[in-house]
Amino acid sequence: MPFEPGKHKWLRLVLLAIGLYLIFIPVWLLTLNAIAWFAATVAQWIYLLLDPLISIKANGNTVDVVVMASAQSGFGGQVYSQPLRVDTVTYGLPVIAALVLVTRADSTRAKLRALAIGMIVMLVTSVPAVMMWAKLTSLQLEEQLARAAMSTSGDRSSFFYYAFHGYAFSQPVIAVAVWLALLMFGLFKDKKKQPLSQAIARNVPCPCGSGRKYKRCCGRA
């Protein structure tokens, strides 16, 4: 298993990560508008393919989901909207930043690469959260219309309610999982350059262009 916990004093580093996380919270709060714009824009692109009656727009640090009832429902034009606070689904971002920064890496470059990949993954996970919220909003409208029409109403929205809140509550868990993945895929390590003698077969023409075999030219012991 490519996991070497023995190189760290973990309890001390986790306490340091908690401290760093608290420092990063104000920085993350300042970026919420941009995160909301990104998540809303991507979620809207995807949702246009699935359900054009749903509109997803960023509004400051919230994402407004507006659902319009279809003409077939008998309530055509009725609109239902719910804002989503983006902070509740992205607080894993400062967690991953803190965890990556306290983890020992072979070089600053390796650490920055791990940080960038971790942040991108966490940012991307905000999109399904917004889409889940949009689905929840749409189901709640359906249930309201079903109640208004006195027809039987299912309780499908409650599953999405728990799934969404589970996702939101689990932001630090997602960050920990991403961090474990970064550790296990060796992203804190430098990609060591393979020595030329190992990379080139001995009997092939030498890459220096001499026309001789590699073993009789640059690869001579």
Q: What gap in Å lies between CA 17 and CA 198, rounded to an integer? A: 40
Q: What gap in Å lies between CA 47 and CA 7, rounded to an integer? A: 45
Which position among 166, 203, 205, 207 is part of the footprint of another protein (CB under 8 A)? 166
Under rule CB under 8 A, residue 26 binds another protein: no
Segment contacting another protein by CB under 8 A, of 15-23, 70-78, 141-149, 206-214: 15-23
Which position among 50, 71, 163, 208 is part of the footprint of another protein (CB under 8 A)? 163
Segment contacting another protein by CB under 8 A, of 12-20, 34-42, 68-76, 191-199: 12-20
The distance of closest approach from Cβ of residue 31 to another protein in the complex, given in angstroms and rounded to an integer, is 14
Which position among 48, 51, 76, 170 is part of the footprint of another protein (CB under 8 A)? 170
Q: What is the DSSP letter of 88?
A: H
Under rule CB under 8 A, residue 199 binds another protein: no
Which position among 120, 147, 162, 191 is part of the footprint of another protein (CB under 8 A)? 162
Confirm if 54 and 66 have CB atoms less than 8 A apart.
yes
Q: Which is nearer to another protein, 85 or 216 (CB)?
A: 85
Segment contacting another protein by CB under 8 A, of 51-59, 68-76, 139-147, 158-166: 158-166
Q: Is 143 exposed, middle or buried (0-12, 13-18, 19+ CB in 10 A)?
A: middle
- Residue identified by tokens 């942040």 is 119
Confirm if 145 and 73 have CB atoms less than 8 A apart.
yes
Under rule CB under 8 A, residue 159 binds another protein: yes
Count of beta carbons in the 10 Å neighbourhood of residue 9: 10
Under rule CB under 8 A, residue 216 binds another protein: no
Segment contacting another protein by CB under 8 A, of 9-17, 36-44, 122-130, 142-150: 9-17
Under rule CB under 8 A, residue 104 binds another protein: no
What backbone phi and psi angles, to 5 degrees, belong to 167? -65, -45
- Enumerate long-range contacts of 15-22, CB under 8 Å, 24 or more apart: 16/102, 17/95, 17/98, 17/99, 17/101, 17/102, 18/98, 20/97, 20/98, 20/101, 20/102, 21/94, 21/95, 21/97, 21/98
Residues that bind another protein (CB under 8 A): 1-3, 5-6, 10-11, 14, 17-18, 21-22, 25, 87-88, 91, 95, 99, 159, 162-163, 165-166, 169-170, 172-173, 176-177, 180-181, 184-185
